[in-house]
Structure 1
Amino acid sequence: MLFCLFFEVMRKKIGIGILVMTLLFMAVYFYVYKDHRNISTEEESYTMDVKTLFSAYQNNETAADSKYLNKTIVVNGAVSMVSIETQSVVLDEKLFAVFSTKLVSGIRIKSNLKIKGRLIGYDSLLEQIKMDQCVILN
Structure 2
Amino acid sequence: MKKKLLIIIVILILASIGLYFYAYKGHRDIATENAAFDLTVSGLSKEFSENDSLANSKYADKTIQIYGKVTDVDFPSHSIIIDEKLSVVFTDSVLPKINLQDAITIKGRFVGYDDLLEEFKIDQATKAE
With the length of structure 1 as denominator, give the TM-score of the two structures: 0.90
Q: Which moved more, 1:97-106 or 1:24-33?
A: 97-106
Matched, 1:131 2:122: yes
Of 64, 69, 72, the match for 2:63:
72
Matched AA of 2:4: K
Offset at residue 54 of structure 1 (A): 1.3
Question: 5 Å matches for 1:1-138?
Answer: 10-138=1-129
Identity of aligned residues (%): 39
Q: Which moved more, 1:12-21 or 1:97-106?
A: 97-106
Moved over 4 A (4+): none
Matched AA of 1:125: L
Structure 2 portions without partners, runs of 5+:
none
Superposed CA RMSD in Å reads: 0.9
Structure 1 portions without partners, runs of 5+:
1-9
With the length of structure 2 as denominator, give the TM-score of the two structures: 0.96
Aligned to 1:3: none
